[in-house]
Amino acid sequence: MSALPKNGTLTRIDNAGAPTVTGVETWATGPAINVRVTIDRPSKSQQISLGALLSKVSQVVYVMKSDLAVDAQILERDKVLAGQDGETARLMKVIRREFYVFRSITHYELFCQVM
């Protein structure tokens, strides 16, 4: 993560709620935040490991856990509003989330589908 340049900003995390009785997904709109992140396309090795799941994934967002509020979490099914520098932020649904600890650097790796 430290080798990847931060090229975007995460401006909101909408946590997923319980689906309605008819199965409609719901989200609680989160507060505005301003967290620098790295936004990239899935790598070749990620494409191989994700397999069929990748058909929904178009962006990978890397977020340093230490840059978020202490109680903030990002889970699968949550939505994030983020954009690369110079571009409009896009709402993305987290399809898969990985949480890494590497030499004391802790970050989320979010595989996202642009909504």
Q: Around 55, how many Cα atoms within 13 Å sit in the side-chain half-sphere?
A: 3
Q: Do the domain assignments include residue 52? A: yes
Q: Do the domain assignments include residue 27? A: yes
The pLDDT score that the predictor gives to residue 12 is: 97
User: Structure tokens of 90?
Assistant: 């896009």
Q: Do the domain assignments include residue 67? A: yes
Is residue 2's pLDDT more than 70? Answer: no
What CATH number does residue 82 fall under?
2.40.10.270
- What would the pLDDT profile of 56-112 be if each residue is shown by its tens digit? 888 999 999 899 998 898 999 999 999 999 999 999 999 999 887 777 658 899 999
Q: Do the domain assignments include residue 56? A: yes
